[in-house]
Amino acid sequence: MSVHALSPRASFANAGAFLTPSIAKPTPLQIAPATASRPQDDAWSVTLGAGKGALYSQAALPSFLYPAISGATAAERAVILETLDALPLKDVSTIGSIKMVPHIGNPYGGNGLVLGATRVLTGDMELSRFGNSLREVQGFAGPTGRFEPSDTVNPAMLRGTLAHEVGHGHDYQGGLVRMLTGGEESHGGPWGEPPHVSKYAETTAREDFAESYQRYHLDREQLRGTPSYDRPGLSAEKRAAMEESERLNFAERVVDNEMFRETGRKFGEITSAAPILRTGLALVGQLATLSLITGGVSRTFSGIANGNGHATVRGALDLGAGLGLGFAYANPLLGPAALALLGAKAGLDRADRDAAAPNSSHATPKVAAAAAVGGALGGVAGGVVGPLGGTALGYTVAGPIGGVVGLVVGSVSGFALGSALGAEAGIAIAS
Ligand SMILES: [Zn+2]
CA-based torsion, 297, 300, 306, 311: positive or negative? positive
Q: pLDDT per residue over 170-188, tens digit each?
A: 999 888 888 888 788 999 8
Q: Residue 104: helix, strand or coil by DSSP?
A: strand
Ligand 1 centroid–CA 313 distance in Å is 44
How many residues does this entry show for the chain? 431
Ligand 1 centroid–CA 121 distance in Å is 15
Q: pLDDT per residue over 118-168, tens digit each?
A: 988 889 999 998 888 876 654 444 445 566 667 788 888 899 999 999 999
- At residue 388, the pLDDT reads 97
Ligand 1 centroid–CA 185 distance in Å is 14
Q: Going from the N-terminus, what domains does the chain have, and what CATH number goes with each?
A: 3-22+65-249 (3.40.390), 43-61+276-430 (no CATH)
pLDDT exceeds cutoff 50 at 34: no
**Banded pLDDT at 362 (limits 50, 70, 90):** low
Q: Mean of the pLDDT values across residues 18-39?
A: 42
Q: Greater confidence, 89 or 119? A: 89
Ligand 1 centroid–CA 99 distance in Å is 16
Question: How would DSSP label each residue in 352-386?
Answer: HHHHHSTT-----HHHHHHHHHHHHHHHHHHHHHH
Q: Mean of the pLDDT values across residues 316-330?
A: 95
Ligand 1 centroid–CA 12 distance in Å is 8
Q: pLDDT per residue over 326-336, tens digit each?
A: 999 989 999 99
Q: pLDDT per residue over 254-273, tens digit each?
A: 999 999 999 999 999 999 99
Ligand 1 centroid–CA 291 distance in Å is 30
Ligand 1 centroid–CA 328 distance in Å is 25
- At residue 13, the pLDDT reads 38
Question: How would DSSP label each residue in 152-200?
Answer: S--HHHHHHHHHHHHHHHHHTTTHHHHHHTT--GGGSTTTTSSS-SSTG
Q: Greater confidence, 116 or 147? A: 116
Ligand 1 centroid–CA 410 distance in Å is 36
Q: pLDDT per residue over 35-67, tens digit each?
A: 444 445 678 888 888 899 999 999 999 999 999
pLDDT exceeds cutoff 50 at 19: no
Ligand 1 centroid–CA 86 distance in Å is 20
- At residue 110, the pLDDT reads 56
Surrounding ion ligand 1 within 5 Å at CB are 11, 207, 210
- At residue 136, the pLDDT reads 60
Nearest alpha-carbon partner for 430 in 367, 345, 348: 367
Ligand 1 centroid–CA 279 distance in Å is 20
Query: Using only C-alpha atoms, what is the Rg of the chain?
Result: 24
Q: pLDDT per residue over 199-251, tens digit each?
A: 889 999 999 999 999 989 887 654 444 444 445 678 889 999 999 999 999 99
pLDDT exceeds cutoff 90 at 298: yes
Question: How would DSSP label each residue in 216-228?
Answer: HHHTSGGGTTS--
- At residue 109, the pLDDT reads 59
Ligand 1 centroid–CA 82 distance in Å is 21
Ligand 1 centroid–CA 9 distance in Å is 6
Ligand 1 centroid–CA 114 distance in Å is 9
> Model pTM?
0.83
Ligand 1 centroid–CA 46 distance in Å is 43
Ligand 1 centroid–CA 107 distance in Å is 12
Ligand 1 centroid–CA 112 distance in Å is 13
Ligand 1 centroid–CA 324 distance in Å is 29
